[in-house]
Amino acid sequence: MLLGFVANAQSPTKYGVGRTPTAEEIAAWDIAIAPTGDELPDGSGTADAGAQVFFEKGCAGCHGTNGTDGLAPRLVKRDVGELENAWGYGRILPIRSPYATTVWDYINRGMPLGAEGTLTPDEVYSLTAYLLFLNDVITDDQMVLDKESLPKIRMPNQDNWAQVPDWFPKQPRLQGYPY
């Protein structure tokens, strides 16, 4: 009992409830990748390698052999020819997303469905490269994606989206809009 009080008194927190995670725990849990790519791990991949992974890991089973004809979400931009405004290619992750980091992050956290978290960083870099290649975001299937080059990929919608406004309590949702 006394020990408990001593421990609480030394705790930097007000309530002394909860524990401090280890650095290893944080690293294992932390799968969120910033647009600046801060958390990207070591490793690398190419579209060429990604095409292999796409079949080996069963991606094609749900997304279709071409990434266009499966039950799971389409992975290749709509077949609408060359567009001035890339928004028109559709809400398809590897073409709509303003940052390539979101593509990497989502494959890494959520795929393949039922076996999430089993892909190696190399495989995730390769799959990301493959999807960007299929969408003509990158044109060289030997281009190496890693933690340095991935955040530098310029996505066609990088500056083509609206940030939500700064939010403060008790403010109308849009200044000047009466509704």
Of 44, 68, 102, 149, the one binding other proteins by CB under 8 A: 102
Helices (H), ranges, 36-87: 47-56, 59-63
Of 3, 9, 24, 29, the one binding other proteins by CB under 8 A: 29
CA atoms in the 13 A half-sphere facing the CB of 92: 24
Could you tell me how far CA 33 lies from the centroid of its own chain?
6
Is 35 among the residues that bind other proteins (CB under 8 A)? yes
Is 152 among the residues that bind other proteins (CB under 8 A)? no
Is 143 among the residues that bind other proteins (CB under 8 A)? no
What phi and psi, each to the nearest 5 degrees, are found at residue 44?
A: -160, 165
CB of 102 to other proteins, least distance (A): 5
Is 36 among the residues that bind other proteins (CB under 8 A)? yes
Of 12, 82, 84, 139, the one binding other proteins by CB under 8 A: 12
Closest-CA residue to 83 (of 93, 94, 73, 95): 95
Under 8 Å between Cβ of 72 and 82 = no
Whether the ω angle into residue 112 lies within 30 degrees of 0, i.e. cis, is yes
Stretch that binds other proteins, among 2-10, 125-133, 135-143, 169-177 (CB under 8 A): 169-177
Site string for other proteins, 43-82 (x = CB under 8 A): -------------------x--------xx----------
